[in-house]
């Protein structure tokens, strides 16, 4: 940082030029990195350099060694997993954030970081139409948010005594979710000390949604066995097929059995910006905590997870620790967000969200989302119309779960092998990248159409590539 400003300008210009060039050729780069394990590691020197090097030298290796090992998540030909979208305003804000290098652990350590966070979380709350009494905080990931939620539930129901004494003299708590929930739920249950055996994975119905009759049955059985049902997690948009768990019916069960209700809407939550998708959270009044990731489909680069909690005191009572060196004069007037989460240190994540919301405005964001949904609906129609492809799950948003199914081939093992082969040969072309899941044991191709800059031509080309590779099987 001690650089003179001329040096800075010159070096920064090189970086900006590189980024500009990267965007220009992004569409031509192989979307999925094609390197072999160890290939990058082996090209790097054994020891850290003893003397400093120039930006030119570092950038030379950036191009030669690092770039080939990059999978291009910002390519409009990226249809894998869920997107981890960035955008220009998000990138600009990240540059500013890094320049200031703010640690936003307490209000006093940068009041703007705390107050902007409160403001943008309130903006989003009102845009996705959560009830006003929710309090928002930015977490690093949905995984952390879910862990924070389960820890809060644990403390609230034990009257904060597990924090004090551990699990001594406690009942065996049970947590419920569907068999299709994200792996982060199981991880959170393990870390929170409940034990994986006490996570009850309730079967799903024919549309991969949590079956509420099965849920109630499981709770009954547990009560008879002397367990203490504690929490249920509803997924709005499962990772496999974006199934939407029936929140209203789950909320009803939550009330009858006095459970904690967490909603994991990591990906699909962004769709709540559109009126047409508000039905997904009917029953939200009964929800205790809710999370969705602007770092997936809301053009804000990783990490930025929007977490909302009804009972703010339960949250801060769970996490607050105030050693002498962290006491400040304003503690009772402001939000000290490190009391709302696990790490002490906090990045200034609100800035990029603020830039994104202002730069596009809600209108243009909604327009982009509608466009993605429209493209997905067209892709779905192509699959339906093709004689040798079939859908394997309902298309609820912009994720199409399908497979190649040539007429005459009905052996499931053979079909699984064929689709696995198709996936790998398509990705090997470098012309697109998509991934798979399993639905009912069937190897399922998964096309997610939600990258920031995706256009119709990219989706058309993807369908052509898939068909061309299928022809070679
Ligand atoms: C992506 C995803 C997660 C995990 O998100 P992170 O922010 O990476 O932790 C959790 N739940 C669902 C439903 C997801 O799609």
CA–chain centroid gap for 163, Å, is 28
Written as six digits, the tokens of 30 are 């192989």
Q: Does 380 sit in the ligand 1 pocket, CB within 6 Å?
A: no
The atom number, within ligand 1, closest to the CA of 267 reads: 15
Give the chain's domains with CATH numbers. 94-356 (3.40.640.10)
Query: How many angstroms separate the alpha carbon of residue 393 from the centre of ligand 1?
Result: 20
Contact between 448 and 433 under an 8 Å Cβ cutoff? The reply is no
Determine the pLDDT at residue 3. Answer: 55
Contact between 221 and 192 under an 8 Å Cβ cutoff? The reply is no
- pTM score, two decimals? 0.96
Q: Does 181 sit in the ligand 1 pocket, CB within 6 Å?
A: no
Among all chains, which residue has been given the structure tokens 């068909």? Answer: 467
Q: Whose CA is nearest to atom 14 of ligand 1?
A: 266
Q: Does the N-terminal peptide bond of residue 380 adopt cis geometry, omega within 30 degrees of 0?
A: no
Contact between 439 and 57 under an 8 Å Cβ cutoff? The reply is no
Query: How many angstroms separate the alpha carbon of residue 184 from the centre of ligand 1?
Result: 7
Full DSSP string of 219-268: HHHHHHTT-EEEEEEEEBS-TTT--B--HHHHHHHHHHTT-EEEEE-TTG
256 CB-near residues (< 8 Å, 6+ apart): none
- Please tell me whether residue 443 adopts helix, strand or coil conformation: strand
pLDDT tens for 57-103 read: 999 999 999 999 999 999 999 999 999 999 999 999 999 999 999 99
| CA atoms of 304 and 152, how far apart (whole Å) | 20
Q: Does 219 sit in the ligand 1 pocket, CB within 6 Å?
A: no
Written as six digits, the tokens of 173 are 């708590």
Q: Whose CA is nearest to atom 5 of ligand 1?
A: 142
| CA atoms of 115 and 124, how far apart (whole Å) | 14
Q: Does 267 sit in the ligand 1 pocket, CB within 6 Å?
A: yes
Full DSSP string of 172-199: -EEEEEETTS-HHHHHHHHHTTS-GGGE
Full DSSP string of 375-433: HHHHHHHHHHH-TTEEE-S---SSEEEEEE--TT---HHHHHHHHHHHHHHHHHTSS-B
Among 453, 140, 464, smallest CA distance to 293 is for: 140
Query: How many angstroms separate the alpha carbon of residue 239 from the centre of ligand 1?
Result: 8
Strands (E), 52-184: 135-139, 173-178
Q: Does 316 sit in the ligand 1 pocket, CB within 6 Å?
A: no
Contact between 255 and 286 under an 8 Å Cβ cutoff? The reply is yes
CB atoms within 10 A of CB 424: 11
Pick from 139, 239, 302 the residue to mutate for probing ligand 1's pocket: most ligand atoms within 8 Å of its CB: 239
Query: What proportion of the chain, given as a percentage, has pLDDT over 70?
Result: 99
Q: Whose CA is nearest to atom 15 of ligand 1?
A: 239
Q: Does 117 sit in the ligand 1 pocket, CB within 6 Å?
A: no
Q: Does 235 sit in the ligand 1 pocket, CB within 6 Å?
A: yes
Sheet containing 435-439, strands listed edge to edge, beginning at the edge strand earlier in sequence = 389-391, 399-404, 442-448, 435-439
Contact between 294 and 145 under an 8 Å Cβ cutoff? The reply is no
| CA atoms of 150 and 93, how far apart (whole Å) | 32
Helix (H) / strand (E) containing 370 = helix 350-385
- Please tell me whether residue 207 adopts helix, strand or coil conformation: coil
Query: How many angstroms separate the alpha carbon of residue 266 from the centre of ligand 1?
Result: 5
Sheet containing 260-264, strands listed edge to edge, beginning at the edge strand earlier in sequence = 135-139, 305-309, 289-292, 260-264, 228-235, 173-178, 199-202
Helix (H) / strand (E) containing 117 = helix 111-127
Q: Does 239 sit in the ligand 1 pocket, CB within 6 Å?
A: yes
Written as six digits, the tokens of 194 are 């409940």
Contact between 288 and 260 under an 8 Å Cβ cutoff? The reply is yes
Query: How many angstroms separate the alpha carbon of residue 27 from the centre of ligand 1?
Result: 26
Q: Does 305 sit in the ligand 1 pocket, CB within 6 Å?
A: yes
Question: Which contacts of 273-279 are long-range, i.e. CB under 8 A and separated by 24 or more positions?
Answer: 273/127, 273/128, 273/362, 273/365, 273/366, 273/369, 274/366, 274/369, 274/370, 274/373, 277/397, 278/129
Determine the pLDDT at residue 331. Answer: 76
Question: CA quadruple 409, 412, 416, 417: dihedral positive or negative?
Answer: negative
Determine the pLDDT at residue 1. Answer: 56
Q: Does 141 sit in the ligand 1 pocket, CB within 6 Å?
A: yes
Determine the pLDDT at residue 333. Answer: 86
**Surface-to-core class of residue 202, CB atoms within 10 Å of its CB (0-12 exposed, 13-18 middle, 19+ buried):** buried
Strands (E), 1-45: none
Q: Does 307 sit in the ligand 1 pocket, CB within 6 Å?
A: no
336 CB-near residues (< 8 Å, 6+ apart): 105, 106, 107, 114, 328
| CA atoms of 412 and 73, how far apart (whole Å) | 32
The atom number, within ligand 1, closest to the CA of 239 reads: 15
Question: Which residues of the chain are modeled with pLDDT < 50?
Answer: none
Query: How many angstroms separate the alpha carbon of residue 181 from the centre of ligand 1?
Result: 10
| CA atoms of 360 and 92, how far apart (whole Å) | 14
Query: How many angstroms separate the alpha carbon of residue 467 from the centre of ligand 1?
Result: 31
Full DSSP string of 285-345: GG-SEEEE-HHHHSS--SS-EEEEES-HHHHHHHH----GGG--TTTTTS--GGGGSS-S-
- Integer-rounded Cα radius of gyration of the chain: 24
Among 405, 409, 373, smallest CA distance to 389 is for: 405
pLDDT tens for 274-329 read: 999 999 999 999 999 999 999 999 999 999 999 999 999 999 999 988 777 777 77
């Amino acid at each position: 940082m001690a650089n003179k400003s001329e040096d800075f300008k010159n070096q920064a210009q090189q970086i900006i030029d590189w980024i500009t060039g990267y965007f220009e050729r992004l569409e031509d780069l192989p979307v999925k990195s094609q390197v072999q394990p160890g290939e990058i590691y082996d090209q790097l020197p054994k020891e850290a350099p003893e003397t400093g090097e120039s930006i030119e030298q570092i950038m030379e290796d950036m191009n030669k060694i690092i770039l080939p090992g990059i999978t291009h998540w910002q390519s409009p030909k990226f249809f894998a997993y869920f997107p981890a979208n960035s955008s220009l305003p998000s990138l600009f804000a990240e540059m500013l954030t890094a320049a200031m290098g703010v640690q936003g652990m307490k209000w006093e350590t940068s009041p703007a970081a705390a107050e902007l966070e409160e403001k943008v979380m309130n903006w989003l709350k009102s845009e996705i139409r959560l009830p006003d009494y929710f309090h928002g905080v930015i977490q690093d990931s949905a995984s952390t948010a879910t862990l924070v939620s389960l820890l809060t539930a644990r403390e609230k129901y034990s009257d904060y005594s597990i924090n004090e004494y551990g699990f001594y003299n406690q009942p065996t708590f049970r947590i419920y979710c569907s068999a299709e929930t994200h792996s982060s739920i199981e991880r959170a249950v393990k870390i929170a000390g409940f034990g994986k055996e006490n996570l009850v994975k309730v079967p799903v119905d024919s549309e991969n949604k949590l079956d509420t009759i099965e849920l109630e049955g499981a709770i009954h059985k547990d009560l008879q066995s002397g367990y203490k049902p504690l929490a249920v997690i509803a997924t709005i948009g499962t990772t496999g097929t974006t199934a939407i768990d029936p929140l209203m019916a789950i909320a009803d069960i939550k009330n009858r059995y006095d459970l904690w209700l967490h909603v994991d809407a990591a990906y699909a939550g962004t769709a709540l910006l559109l009126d047409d998708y508000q039905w997904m959270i009917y029953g939200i009044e009964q929800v205790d905590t809710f999370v969705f990731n602007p770092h997936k489909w809301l053009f804000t680069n990783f990490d930025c997870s929007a977490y909302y909690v009804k009972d703010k005191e339960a949250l801060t009572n769970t996490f607050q620790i105030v050693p002498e060196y962290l006491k400040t004069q304003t503690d009772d007037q402001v939000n000290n967000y490190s009391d709302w989460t696990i790490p002490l240190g906090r990045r200034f994540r609100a800035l990029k969200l603020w830039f994104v919301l202002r730069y596009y405005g809600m209108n243009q964001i909604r327009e982009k989302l509608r466009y993605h949904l429209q493209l997905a609906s067209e892709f779905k129609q192509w699959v339906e119309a093709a004689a040798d492809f079939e859908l394997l799950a309902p298309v609820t948003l912009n994720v199409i779960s399908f497979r190649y199914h040539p007429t005459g081939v009905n052996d499931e093992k053979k079909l699984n092998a064929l689709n696995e082969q198709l996936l790998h040969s398509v990705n090997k072309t470098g012309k697109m990248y998509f991934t798979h899941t399993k639905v009912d044991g069937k190897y399922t191709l998964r096309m997610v159409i939600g990258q920031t800059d995706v256009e119709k031509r990219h989706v058309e080309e993807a369908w052509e590539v898939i068909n061309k590779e299928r022809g070679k099987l």
